[in-house]
Amino acid sequence: MSLPLLNNLVKHKDRITELETENVITWCSGCGNFGILNAVMHALAIEEVGVKDAVLCFDVGCNGNASHNINAYTIHGLHGRVLSLAAGAKIANPDKKVIAFAGDGATFSEGVNHLVHSVRNNFPFVFIFHNNENYGLTTGQPSSTTKCGAKMNSAPEGVTAAPLNPLQFVLSLGPSFVARTYSGNITHMTETIQAAMNHKGFAFVEVLQACPTYNRETPDEWYAERVRDVKDLEDYDNTDIWAARRIVEDLDEKFYMGVLYKNEMLADFMSLQPNREGRKPLVDEVEPMSIDGMY
């Protein structure tokens, strides 16, 4: 852990404690979700986002069971739909930090259309994509990111369809922020989530997530050997989308982490609403409106 981050954590330790609940955590031992939840708490604490300042939106899946494991306003919606739910929340009150969480099943199967249009619209919130390459909560069925040939529940002879490349897919949509991190490295996750929180636009953060129970193809150690920090890559320009597309192509040997791509010139959804310029959030505008002149 870097010294500045450590100092920051010490400085904000009370905030971190405030975020912790006593509710029972129901993940398997060794699950990547523990680390992700901690990193989220660290990032919120360091960024000094208080309980009144944020809304956390959870999809259905193992990650969604965190919805009551953090002392915050949370909403735990339907499977596959969290991006639209979070967009609705953010539009209504852009003053709040909105962070959405969903797994690979929700993001790349049940609700892939919402991902496409969240990127297109550049809705200004953070999306933490938990990629553990399977449906954990329903006991280990393959997802669209499961490796070909993996023997899974519902595919006992091995998965036949080729996996999707999540970041290649997102980059093809013309995003404004794409990052990758790894559930075995809380420091890196914290810093990446902080960077996403400070981005003005749709911030897509893939977390390569260990699933010790069902993902035997790419366990924690498998990732640990393969992850690299993009900062160590000489001359890497994270405003060059083709550079990003080249390094995310590899899903076998080298997984580059960090902010892989950002385009700060891309206007976010809210700043493209000329009628909303200089106005209070929609939540503060509910009052009778005269319809004079509207017939």
What x/- string results for residues 143 through 182 when contact with other proteins is judged by CB under 8 A? ----------------------------------------
- In whole angstroms, the minimum distance from the beta carbon of 190 to other proteins comes to 22
Q: Which of 5, 16, 28, 75 binds other proteins (CB under 8 A)?
A: 75
Distance in angstroms (rounded) separating the CA atoms of residues 227 and 71: 31
- Give Dmax (Cα) for the chain: 67
- Is 87 a binding residue for other proteins by CB under 8 A? The answer is yes
Distances (CA, A) of 101 to 149, 217, 235, 285: 28, 23, 32, 28
**Residue of 12, 15, 42, 96 interacting with other proteins (CB under 8 A):** 96
Q: 212 vs 281, which CB is nearer to other proteins?
A: 281
Q: Residues 10-49 vs other proteins: string with x where CB under 8 A?
A: -------------x--------------------------
Closer CB to other proteins, residue 41 or residue 91? 91
Query: Which residues have a Cβ under 8 Å from the Cβ of 121 and sit 6 or more positions away?
Result: 87, 202, 269
Other beta carbons within 10 Å of 155: 16
| Least distance between other proteins and beta carbon 84 (Å) | 4
- Taking alpha carbons only, the member of 139, 119, 267 closest to residue 211 is 139
CA angle centred on 217, ends 211 and 223, rounded to 5°: 70
Asked if 283 is part of the footprint of other proteins (rule: CB under 8 A), the reply reads yes
**Residue 74 interacting with other proteins (CB under 8 A):** yes
Candidate list 5, 116, 173, 243; residue touching other proteins; CB under 8 A? 116
Beta carbon nearer to other proteins, 265 or 289 = 289
Determine the Cα–Cα distance for residues 256 and 31; give it in Å rounded to an integer: 21
How many alpha carbons lie under 13 Å from residue 217 in its C-beta half-sphere? 20
Contact range with other proteins by CB under 8 A, out of 77-85, 126-134, 169-177, 243-251: 77-85
The Cα 169–Cα 178 span in angstroms is 11
Integer-rounded Cα Rg, in Å, for the chain is 19
Q: What's the closest the beta carbon of residue 85 comes to other proteins, in angstroms?
A: 4
Token pair of 36, please?
């992700």
Options 16, 28, 38, 76; binder of other proteins; rule CB under 8 A: 76
Secondary element (H or E) of residue 131: strand 126-131
Q: Work out whether 57 is an interface residue with other proteins (CB under 8 A).
A: yes
Binding site residues, other proteins, CB under 8 A: 23, 51-53, 55, 57, 60, 65, 67-68, 71-78, 81, 84-93, 95-96, 113-114, 116-117, 273, 275-276, 279, 281-283, 285-295
